[in-house]
Structure formats: structure tokens, C-alpha cells
Structure 1
Amino acid sequence: MEFKPIKPKKIYEEIVDQLKGMITRGELSPGDKLLPERELADQLQVGRSAVREAYRALEAIGIIEIRAGEGTFVRELNTKSMTDIMSFAVITGKGAILELLELRKIIEIEAAALAAERLTKDNLINLKKCLDKMKEDVNKGVVGEVSDLIFHHAITEAAHNSLLTRVISSVSDTMKTEMKKVRERMYETPGRPEILYKQHEEIYQAIVNRDPAEARKAMLNHLVSTEQVLIQVMNKDKI
């Protein structure tokens, strides 16, 4: 039996987690004023410097705004803020990466189904070009994480939902580094690149056939397979 060393969180990260949780649960709303550093430090029984560092981290990713002479306030979240929040989460823990994978499954499976229902001629041409580029990468032995990203983006465009496109782009951009590791690891196994291409081909064919149920099934199969490899990569790299 093998145990992995526990990585204790820094105090400021615990404060960040508490404040993010309060915002997520609606206990803090955009425009709400946060406690002054000294007062929050007293309540949490921590040093004032830890609160200051937490506030700076939250300000850096666009969650709060520090106004000179007025105080610290919760900001309205926009698309950039969403990306920054997810990026911060990935930096601070393996669990957040797995949560992003779950989010990706929830969103992209339905995006594939919508694409099957709303596909236009231009979308079809674009998807075919993306798939052909992936095939070319496989033949050349190229990792092809960019082609993969573009293919998935083309699917969200075919779903014709601008908000969906922005959210998926945020998730994909956040996970770009980890997904490159996944594809590199996949390419270490003979025949795996061909399997990966086949999964994308099945997604493409289901969308072209305008079969939402089959599109969901094909996307789920692909994302579950990718998730399994990513977990192996994280365990090996001890993320």
C-alpha cells in the first residue's frame, strides 16, 4: 500500500476558498463590501498578512476590487473572470482539474447534441476540415493538441449558442497544458492515436447524421476515455 504525502494549504489559500465559497453560495453578492483586513483577520484568528495576500489573489483574478479609501468589494463576474477563476483553481489543486473535466462532460455532451440538430452547411465544411487536419497529424505522428482544440471548438460553433461557446472556450483554454500532457501520454501507446482519431470521427459522423443521441454517446465515450488518461498522468506526475 502506497501513500502520497499530504500537501498542506497555505493560510491565504484557505481564506480564498472560504470567500469563493461564500460568493458561489450567494452569501456574498456583486457590490457587497468585504470586512477590512484587520477585522477579518481577527474573526479567522489569522495574521493580517494572510488576509492581505488572499485579497490580492482574489483581486488578481477579478473576483474582488480594492478601492483606495473605500474598501474591498465583490465584483461582477464576466467571461474573463470565469477563465481566471478556473485557472487559479487548476494552479491550486488536482481536485479542481477533475471538476473541470466533469464540467466539460456536462457541457460538451449537450453541445454535440445541439450541433447535430443545428448543423449548417458551413459548419459541416468546417468540421470536415478539422477532422482531416487531425487525420493528417496522426499520419505525421504529431501530438496535435491544437487540432483537437479546434475540432471541439467547431462543434460548439455548430451548436449556435454564443454563451456555450464562451464557456467551453474558457474551460478548454484553462486545461490546455494538461490536455497536451494527455495526448503526449496517449501517443506513447502504439495504436492509441488511431483510437483517438476514431473517437473524433464517430462524433463527427453522429453530428453529420443529425443524430443527437448518438452524438451524446460518442462525445461521452471520448471524454471518459480522455479523463481516464488524464487521471493517470496526474497520478504519475503527482499533481
Structure 2
Amino acid sequence: MMQVVDSMPIKSPKVYEIIFNQIKESFMNGELKPGDKLPAERELSTRFKVSRTSIREALRVLESNGVIEVRPGDGTFIRQSEVQSLTDRLSITIINAENHLIYEMLEVRRVIETECAFLAAQRASSLDLQNILKALEDMAKSEQDEELGLQADLLFHNSIAQAANNSIFAGLVHTLSDQMKDTIRATRQHRFANTGHFQETLQEHKEIYFSIALKEADKAKQLMDAHIIRIRKQMATDTFESMGDAGDK
């Protein structure tokens, strides 16, 4: 039987990953084998300090990917299959689930940030423009500094939201700050796996800044929209190619 360790409180969007990793680790150390029964939802909920609804959703993802099978009245079991095959399936499932959340956040960002760029071009003060430019300058220095690049990228987008001078948009961006940071970190890792993408990304940000500084509202909106669409397309392409490479091994 898998031994589930105590854990600090976990945000519900990450529950699936914790459970996936727990199962995978249990396979690696021999604690769990195909056909074994998983702990009950109530126990998982208590151990991970999340709702049973979150646990149920994580198990649903596992079941839909053929990792587990739910037997009504009997419990949840690891499907009878080769351990390596199951481990590979878990890895792919984690990638798919993680990317799904990133894509959803990019959709939200596209709605909010394109309008913020439009409004910022109309309303940005000189201080707002200084903040955006400072973030851009830090970004230009960050090719060899991943953390500086992440903070500069996040500041750039947050500064544009502030420059929109709309308290509702500013509040939304603040509320989503953790998700924004996670998404930007993930998308930068995807894009910068190709070294040529750093300068391309920097140029995209420069063009957005100049359109705001020049009060070209429609152009700022279009450039922000194109920036987020391009990120999503590159992520989808890179993920598809990496999964293809894994399948060739």
C-alpha cells in the first residue's frame, strides 16, 4: 500500500501533480504495484489538506488517462499494466494537465492585458512609463539571469496594468499575481529553450512599450494580443515536438 506522507497545505490547482508524483515515487521505491488500492478520498483529503472535491478531480484526471480504475463500492486501484508504461503515462499526464492550466491562464491574460495595454496608451502617466521602461531595461540585462528575467517580465505586465488606471483591472491582476508568475515562468522556460527566442521576446516587449509611450492605443492592444498568441503557439509546438521525441525513444 502506498504510504502518503503529511504535507503542508496545497493550493487545489496543484493537487493532481502531488498525487501523480506520489504514485510515481511509490513505483520507483517499490511500495506500489499495478493492482494495488489507493487510499480513500477522505484520507487523501486529510493528508494533503485540500477538499475532497479537489482530490476527486485529481483522481478523475488519473482515471481518464488510464492510470487508475475506480470500482464502485470497492475503491480505486492502479490499473494492471507494466510499471514503466504506467510511469511514462504519468509523466505525459502531468505535462498535459500543467499545460492545460497554463493555456487557460493565457486566455485570461489575453482578455485582461490587451485591454490594459489599450487603456495604458491613453492614460499612462510619466511615472507609469518610467516603471514600464525600468522593467524593460532589466529584461534586456537578463539573458543569463533567469530570476531577473522573470521578475522583470512580471513587472512589465503588472506596470502596464497599473498604467491602465482602472482599479478593477489592477485588482484582478493583483489577485492573479501568483498564477501570473507561474505562467510567465513556464512560458519563458518554453520559449527560451530556443536561444533565438530571447531577443524575439525582448523585441515584442519593446514594441508594446513604444506603442504605449506614443499613445498608439489600437497598436498597443494588437501587439499585446499578438504577443500572447505567439507564446501559446510556441508552447503548443514545443510540447508536441517534445512528446514526439519521447515517443521515439
Q: Which residue of 2 aligns with 1:133?
A: 138
Residues 1:203 and 2:208 aligned together: yes
- Of 124-133 and 160-169, more deviation after overlay is shown by 160-169
Q: Deviations over 1:22-48 (max 9, x none)?
A: xxxxxxxxxxxxxxxxxxxxxxxxxxx
Name the count of aligned residue pairs. 160
Q: Which residue of 2 aligns with 1:118?
A: 123
Q: Distance in 1 between matches of 2:142 and 2:50?
A: 43
Q: Which residue of 2 aligns with 1:190?
A: 195
TM superposition shift of 1:114: 0.5
- 1:112 to 1:59, Cα distance in 2 relative to 1, 3 A: same
Residues 1:226 and 2:231 aligned together: yes
Q: Which residue of 1 aligns with 2:6?
A: none
- Give runs of aligned pairs for residues 79-158 of structure 1, distance below 5 A: 94-138=99-143, 141-143=144-146, 144-158=149-163
Q: Deviations over 1:89-129 (max 9, x none)?
A: xx966434322211110110000000001111111111111
Q: Which runs of 5+ in 1 are unaligned?
A: 1-12, 14-48, 61-90
Q: Distance in 2 between matches of 1:152 and 1:216?
A: 13
Q: Which residue of 2 aligns with 1:162?
A: 167
* 8 Å contact from structure 2 (residues 154, 180) kept in 1: no
Q: Which residue of 1 aligns with 2:66?
A: none
Question: What's the TM-score once normalised by structure 2's chain length?
Answer: 0.55
- 1:221 to 1:123, Cα distance in 2 relative to 1, 3 A: same
TM superposition shift of 1:177: 3.1
Q: Distance in 2 between matches of 1:180 and 1:186?
A: 10
Q: Which runs of 5+ in 2 are unaligned?
A: 1-11, 13-39, 55-95, 245-249
SS of 2:142's partner is: helix
Q: Distance in 1 between matches of 2:153 and 2:189?
A: 13
